[in-house]
Amino acid sequence: MNLPDHFTDIIRQLLKDQTDAFISSLVEVPPVSLRLNPLKSEGKVSDLPEEGKQVPWSDWGYYLNKRPSFTFDPLFHGGKYYVQEASSMFIEHVVKQLIDKPLKCLDLCAAPGGKSVSLLSALPAGSLLTSNEIIRQRAYILSENITKQGSPTTVVTNNEPKDFAVLQDFYDMILVDAPCSGEGMFRKDDVAISEWSPENVRMCAERQKNILSDIWPALKPGGILIYSTCTYNTLENEVNALWVSDEMHAEFVEIKTEKEWGISPSFDDKVIAYRFFPHKTEGEGLFVTVLRKDGSTVSNSLQHIQKRNKKNRKYPSHLVKEVSTYKRYLINPDDFDFVQDENRIIAVPKQHTETILALKNSLKTISLGIELGEIKGKDFIPSHSLAMSSELNREIFSTRELTYDEAIAYLRREAISIPDSPKGFILLTYRDLPLGFVKNIGNRANNLYPNEWRIRT
Ligand SMILES: C[S@@+](CC[C@H](N)C(=O)[O-])C[C@H]1O[C@@H](n2cnc3c(N)ncnc32)[C@H](O)[C@@H]1O
């Protein structure tokens, strides 16, 4: 492995006599890990695609003994699990330790979605997660991964950090998993090595400060900021964490960890942080720090946002009054309001309806709640997000269990033939996990799997 000299110098200053062990660990094969989806799995080893053992800081994370072909596992596409590097699962541990009441949480730099998925499994029931990604194309990938999880309490947005200024004092918790110089990915990603330079480290550190100061007003007084990077240098980590603490008047929050996890402390006595190095912890490089914003005012931010939206007359979506047609699609229909957005019907959890509509009108929303389907003439075409949802009422659809080969053909978006099934919309399952819908017209069935999600290889 050809590491830049300047990078090795930085590491030597930080790790001293551990430097050789660290560098040797970079040529080792990285562990393969995934997290099971609590909404679609019971969290048992038997749900894993390969034998494995638990990640110690996660209830849902497992290391696998060998790497299966995830692309060709229908359960992966059905959202039974998400492939995630093990260190990142530490976010779940942080949240579980600090949060015991439902809250509004923002994952600001969220694509492709690993940390959002961790948040979803750790946030108390009744919480609302906004998963945001600045790059549009990546925001769609984020939305795909979130949709597969099947949680109805997520909104996916595509905004710049400064766009959240309209949501002053809004979030109880914000995760900034910042774009960084990616030193922690050197073992997995040669491009990260080739793009590394001291100038890039400085540029990343400046950008991280801009992101943090842009998003700070959206955090409630007394709220929690989790700041993480997958890089080792102190400029992007301790130095920025200290800057937030000094400039924004925030105090560090300590998280309990177990010694045997091998997590290293911060390199600055004034900063409380958790560092993952691959020669000490089974996972990739990670830095995590947690800060609490000064103050404890209970804000009235929702009213403020609604007033602003009224002034701007931006309320395109409206609540559906005649809901009986749509209620039957869900297991717990009374927990939901139904919103019509052009010809799409979306179910939103009642306790968050106002908040979700306020978000929809303040931000560029990619997806929210559960999209039930689309009205097309006399037809109501069930959407893929309904098939993926934990709230799907399977009783109202005819279901067809697929063989492995049929499931792969469906996920490739090939034509399916199910002559024994009735005509109309059929829910396809693989090992009892919903994969999506087809419209059976007799001699063939039209494949409704989202074109952009299909297996291409
Ligand atoms: C480290 S990645 C996030 C990984 C993600 N949290 C996960 O666990 O899957 C950082 C993300 O920040 C986004 N990003 C880049 N520049 C940004 C900026 N100026 N403001 C906010 N996000 C940015 C990138 O597109 C990228 O998706």
Ligand 1 pocket check: which of 58, 116, 130, 134 to mutate, most ligand atoms within 8 Å of Cβ?
A: 134
Is there a catalytic annotation at residue 230? yes
How large a percentage of the chain has pLDDT more than 90?
90
How, if at all, do strands 154-157 and 128-132 pair? parallel
Note the pLDDT tens digit of each residue in 291-344: 999 987 655 566 666 666 555 444 455 789 889 999 999 999 999 999 999 999
**CB of 163 shorter than 6 A to ligand 1:** no
Q: What is the pLDDT of residue 318?
A: 78
Task: Write the CB contacts of 284 (distance below 8 Å, at least 6 apart in sequence).
Answer: 30, 85, 86, 87, 88, 184, 185, 187, 188, 230, 276, 278
Q: How far from 132 is each of 81, 177, 411, 438, 455, CA to CA, in Å? A: 21, 11, 27, 31, 25
- Given a contact cutoff of 8 angstroms between Cβ atoms, the answer to whether 221 and 300 are in contact is no
Take atom 27 of ligand 1 and give the residue whose Cα is closest: 111
Structure tokens at 193: 């090595």
The arithmetic mean of pLDDT across residues 162-187, rounded, is: 96
**CB of 133 shorter than 6 A to ligand 1:** yes
How large a percentage of the chain has pLDDT more than 70?
95
Q: Is the pLDDT of residue 30 over 50?
A: yes
Residue 173: band (very low, low, confident or very high) from pLDDT cuts 50, 70, 90: very high
Note the pLDDT tens digit of each residue in 384-434: 999 999 999 999 999 999 999 999 999 999 999 999 999 999 999 999 999
Residue 227 CA to residue 238 CA, distance in Å, equals: 10
Residue 193: band (very low, low, confident or very high) from pLDDT cuts 50, 70, 90: very high
**CB of 203 shorter than 6 A to ligand 1:** no
Q: How far does the centroid of ligand 1 lie from the alpha carbon of residue 272, in Å?
A: 23
Q: What is the pLDDT of residue 298?
A: 56
**CB of 439 shorter than 6 A to ligand 1:** no
Q: What is the pLDDT of residue 314?
A: 46
- Given a contact cutoff of 8 angstroms between Cβ atoms, the answer to whether 131 and 110 are in contact is yes
**CB of 110 shorter than 6 A to ligand 1:** yes
Domain spans of the chain, in order of start: 397-457
Q: What is the pLDDT of residue 321?
A: 84
Q: Is the ipTM of this complex over 0.95?
A: yes
Q: What is the pLDDT of residue 450?
A: 98
Q: Is the pLDDT of residue 32 over 50?
A: yes
Looking up tokens 């029931």 gives 125
> Phi and psi of 86, rounded to 5°?
-65, -40
Q: What is the pLDDT of residue 302?
A: 65
Torsion, Cα of 205, 206, 208, 209 (10° steps): 120
Q: What is the pLDDT of residue 2?
A: 87
The arithmetic mean of pLDDT across residues 84-92, rounded, is: 97
- Correct CATH for 397-457 of 3.40.50.620, 3.50.50.60, 3.10.450.720, 3.40.50.450: 3.10.450.720
Give the H or E element holding residue 184.
none
The 8-class DSSP code of residue 340 comes to: E
Q: Is the pLDDT of residue 102 over 90?
A: yes
Rounded to the nearest integer, the mean pLDDT of the chain is 94
Q: Which atom of ligand 1 is nearest to the CA of 111?
A: 27
Give the closest residue to 396 by CA, choosing from 360, 354, 424.
424
DSSP annotation string for 249-275: TEEE------GGG--B--SSTT---EE
Give the H or E element holding residue 301.
helix 301-311
Cβ burial of 66 (10 Å; 0-12, 13-18, 19+) is exposed
Q: What is the pLDDT of residue 403?
A: 97
Q: What is the pLDDT of residue 332?
A: 98
Q: Which atom of ligand 1 is nearest to the CA of 180?
A: 1
- Answer yes or no: is 160 a known binding residue: no
The arithmetic mean of pLDDT across residues 82-106, rounded, is: 97
The predicted model scores a pTM of 0.96
Q: Which of 105, 180, 204, 230 is catalytic?
A: 230
The answer to which of 102-111, 305-314, 361-370 has the lowest mean pLDDT is 305-314
